[in-house]
Structure 1
Amino acid sequence: MTTELRVLRREEWDQWYGRLERAFGGVPVPPEERALWSELTEHGRSVGAWEGGECVGTAGAFTFRVSVPGGSFVPAAGVTMVSVAPTHRRRGVLTSMMRRQLDDVRALGEPLAMLTASEPEIYGRFGYGVASYQLGMDIDTVRAGITAPPGADGVRLRFAPVGESAAACEAVHRSGLGSRPGMLACPPGWERLALLDPPANREGASAAQCVLAERDGEVVGYVRFHNKPEWEESGPNGSILLRDVEALDPVAYAALWRFLFGIDLTSRIRVRNRPVDDPLLHLVTDVRRCGVRVRDALHMRLVDVGAALVARTYRASVDVVFEVEDPFCPWNEGRWRLSGDAKGATCERTSYTADLALNVRDLGAAFLGGVTLSSLAGAGRVRELRGGALAEASTAFASDPAPWLPHSF
């Protein structure tokens, strides 16, 4: 039968989302989570592949702005909810949805598309490169502790109901937006995602708990977590499952972590998503007891190379010509001359001799400054055609602090 690709109709959402659930294992998400995703779905930016009356493929996009080096927020399509029915693999369904989606993103004038991947190897062929990473940790709080800076004892900590404290926590979160590349400015309604707490998602732990950090009556930080009590013959061996922790200053941040390390009847903290340069690595007394691991986070795609490279600033002066390969979006292919510094940049097509040659995937990986062009060259993915060009461009593209995506989408 012929497969039809079309924009998602509102009355089709339940079947469309059900096919997505089936592709990810067939376990329905909790009703409250499903209801929120129904509200957040942008139907005009979502497509379904249909064979007769059966949905066999799904793909959507959210309208975001993402922070880039220099602090600006740039329009970006948040690609999401991508699936193909197991019965319809290797028929070009995914390629057709990616083709349609990137054409639509370009028509909307968004220079970037981005996603988080369940299987990272899928999206490189569509021009997405891994632009940020995240730390996970399994911290042994019996053998490791926190060395807090002076002033931590002056931070007041108190429990607060998750719902009642949501506005204060959101204010702290928003104050940090743009402090790192890779952070999202989301439309209204997205703040509710952080408050979802269905029992099915707790892994046997408590309902979400919130502790606020205050100084002079003002909220300067917060932590949200679950407590999972466990007992052995030798005694308590509970775990803290961290949801999120943010603070306006280093002292409040350390005070919150010291609190987590000291919760009675627990011996470990499970952390899923922190930045790769998290100050926690320097607060702990023994990083070897933290079970640090790294995984990919945000995959970035330059939909319009020129507009994307102009949208960010550069850590050092740079004047370099890229030879860009982009077979999936051929409008990007060719030579681009980038000239920029910490104040701004220009990027235009040129006939000048190329200094560096690379695939658009690898330009996307380096775009947020967390992956160096030099490391990509070491993997054979960037070719230096003019001596010195690689060091110049790699230094200019770098970001301090490292990029980080606090939450998925």
Structure 2
Amino acid sequence: MVRAHSHTDSTKVRPITEAEFPEWLRAVHVGFLREPVVAEAELEARRSQFEPGRYLGAFEGDRCVATFRSFEQEVTAVGGEFVTADGITGVTVTATHRRRGLLTRMMNHDLAVAKERGDVVATLIAAEYRIYGRYGFGPATSAAEWSIDLPRTGLDRRGPDLGAGARIDLVGPDEVRKIGPELHDRLRRATPGAVSRGDWLWQLKTGALRLDSKWTEPFFAVYRAADGTVEGLLAYEVDDTWGDAKQPLNTASVRAMLCSTPAAERALWHYLCSVDWVTQVKTGPRAPDDLLPHLLPDPRAARITTQSDWLWVRILDVVRALESRTYEGEGTLVLEVVDPAGLAGGRYRLDVSPAGASCTATTESADLTLDVGELAALWLGDESAVRLVALGRVQEEQAGAGRGADALLRTSRRPWCPDMF
């Protein structure tokens, strides 16, 4: 039974101790509606991530009823610069303790510390859309998933023509841990919205660390260019489904694909779509403007099954955020940034050119007035200021300012975050 709460809440919000970590992790399970028991394997695997001060809990006596975790992260700005970020995850409130302001207390504490620490932005991937806008976050990237009907693709099922010297090999997890991090760094340098990935995650994705007994090892395929450079890595699993007439109807599901060149992307998709017995491919989350559908002779063979927001950003330092990215055009934009939390509000003059950018506080008349969350949605180049004006979420103070902002801020390819955290 869900218990009603009184207006006098004695719940304490504070950083947890390492000894309280098992209870904190149990509360994470409860908040995400998982089995409210933590397996020893998961406890040991996750304990290695513990960092004092960055795990918050709300406690009623010894019982943890809300959780919050942040960690050091980098996010790629437009143009390839890595900016410091406060990555947020593990956010839960137990059903019996909702609507008491526990998340607000944890979030306010964490963002204030991140601001003082000098982080440029905070990031998260939102389980629910309506929660995080009130804390200044805005959806900055999105993702899409496709299901590919292989008989309709028109691809040559004999496999890709790799050209002279290039090759695709199946490798083991030890090899992935050796070659993966450098490939991922090259990919994220070229991908606005991508985030850093630590060694813990590589171990988790290759089975060196296991959260439970349900781990199944995927196939790992590596694409090497003619000079031997690793340009692509694909992790996938295949089910075991057969039709009544003893015909294979297997589905290959992609766990991850990292490619630093279009050639690698083309080759690995063609490879996967030509594996014998496989009649359907599920792509997992990809960039919303992924090349995939148009790598197929019949793009209609790839059907979108999921399309949604992905990485949310909260700007903590407007000047550093706007100066960290590149701009293809040249111009000036004065922004009135509204931030009820008082972390990043103010009026800023942004002067940009292909040679660089300068952002300074100003008393000049604003071109646009917008909430800090809307600025986050514009920062990586995915959202349109004109669209936000039409939605009533950005106010044009000068006629045509939305179009001018789009000319400066929007990018030719859409940002994307390949990781979940």
Task: From the superposition, tell whether residues 208 and 326 of structure 1 become closer, same or farther in structure 2 (CA, over 3 Å).
Answer: same
Contact map agreement 1:159 1:211 (CA 8 A) in 2: yes
Alpha-carbon deviations, 1:342-388, whole Å to 9, x = none?
33222222211111011111101111111122222222211211123
Contact map agreement 2:256 2:284 (CA 8 A) in 1: no
- After TM superposition, list the pairs within 5 Å mapping 1:180-219 onto structure 2: 180-196=191-207, 207-214=217-224, 215-219=226-230
Aligned-partner Cα distance in 2 for 1:73–1:117? 22
Q: Provide the residue aligned with 1:233 in structure 2.
A: 244
Across the two proteins, how many residue pairs are aligned to each other?
Answer: 405
How far 1:194 sits from its partner (Å)? 2.5
How far 1:321 sits from its partner (Å)? 1.2
TM-score, scaled to structure 2: 0.90
Task: From the superposition, tell whether residues 40 and 84 of structure 1 become closer, same or farther in structure 2 (CA, over 3 Å).
Answer: same
How far 1:33 sits from its partner (Å)? 4.7
Deviates more, 1:104-113 or 1:346-355: 346-355
Aligned-partner Cα distance in 2 for 1:126–1:104? 15
How far 1:187 sits from its partner (Å)? 4.3
Match status 1:318 vs 2:327: no
Contact map agreement 1:199 1:207 (CA 8 A) in 2: no
Query: Any unmatched runs of 5+ in structure 1?
Result: none
Q: Provide the residue aligned with 2:124 in structure 1.
A: 115
How far 1:25 sits from its partner (Å)? 1.2
* From 167, 179, 182, the counterpart of 1:156: 167
Aligned-partner Cα distance in 1 for 2:14–2:91? 14
How far 1:207 sits from its partner (Å)? 2.6
Q: Provide the residue aligned with 1:10 in structure 2.
A: 18
Counterpart residue identity of residue 355, structure 1: D
User: Percent identical across equivalent pairs?
Assistant: 32
- After TM superposition, list the pairs within 5 Å mapping 1:41-190 onto structure 2: 41-146=50-155, 151-152=162-163, 155-190=166-201
Aligned-partner Cα distance in 1 for 2:355–2:53? 37
Counterpart residue identity of residue 208, structure 1: P
How far 1:149 sits from its partner (Å)? 8.7
Q: Provide the residue aligned with 1:282 in structure 2.
A: 294
Q: Provide the residue aligned with 2:312 in structure 1.
A: 299
Counterpart residue identity of residue 17, structure 1: L
* Secondary structure at the counterpart of residue 113 of structure 2: helix
Aligned-partner Cα distance in 1 for 2:321–2:196? 17
Task: From the superposition, tell whether residues 50 and 145 of structure 1 become closer, same or farther in structure 2 (CA, over 3 Å).
Answer: farther
Q: Provide the residue aligned with 1:245 in structure 2.
A: 257
Aligned-partner Cα distance in 2 for 1:15–1:69? 40
Task: From the superposition, tell whether residues 225 and 152 of structure 1 become closer, same or farther in structure 2 (CA, over 3 Å).
Answer: farther
Aligned-partner Cα distance in 2 for 1:103–1:341? 32
Task: From the superposition, tell whether residues 29 and 170 of structure 1 become closer, same or farther in structure 2 (CA, over 3 Å).
Answer: farther
How far 1:82 sits from its partner (Å)? 0.4
Aligned-partner Cα distance in 2 for 1:319–1:408? 35
Task: From the superposition, tell whether residues 42 and 281 of structure 1 become closer, same or farther in structure 2 (CA, over 3 Å).
Answer: farther
Q: Provide the residue aligned with 2:233 in structure 1.
A: 222
Q: Provide the residue aligned with 2:322 in structure 1.
A: 309
* Secondary structure at the counterpart of residue 413 of structure 2: coil
How far 1:291 sits from its partner (Å)? 1.6
How far 1:198 sits from its partner (Å)? 6.4
Aligned-partner Cα distance in 1 for 2:357–2:103? 35
Contact map agreement 1:152 1:251 (CA 8 A) in 2: no
Contact map agreement 1:41 1:62 (CA 8 A) in 2: no
Match status 1:370 vs 2:419: no
How far 1:85 sits from its partner (Å)? 0.9
* Secondary structure at the counterpart of residue 324 of structure 1: strand
Task: From the superposition, tell whether residues 236 and 187 of structure 1 become closer, same or farther in structure 2 (CA, over 3 Å).
Answer: closer
Contact map agreement 1:114 1:298 (CA 8 A) in 2: yes
Task: From the superposition, tell whether residues 188 and 133 of structure 1 become closer, same or farther in structure 2 (CA, over 3 Å).
Answer: same
Q: Provide the residue aligned with 2:4 in structure 1.
A: none
Aligned-partner Cα distance in 2 for 1:31–1:42? 19
Deviates more, 1:305-314 or 1:108-117: 305-314
* Secondary structure at the counterpart of residue 306 of structure 1: helix
How far 1:49 sits from its partner (Å)? 0.8
Contact map agreement 1:155 1:255 (CA 8 A) in 2: no
Contact map agreement 1:318 1:396 (CA 8 A) in 2: yes
Task: From the superposition, tell whether residues 312 and 249 of structure 1 become closer, same or farther in structure 2 (CA, over 3 Å).
Answer: closer
Match status 1:338 vs 2:350: yes
Contact map agreement 2:176 2:206 (CA 8 A) in 1: no
Task: From the superposition, tell whether residues 25 and 335 of structure 1 become closer, same or farther in structure 2 (CA, over 3 Å).
Answer: same
How far 1:287 sits from its partner (Å)? 2.4
Aligned-partner Cα distance in 2 for 1:322–1:115? 25
Contact map agreement 2:168 2:222 (CA 8 A) in 1: yes
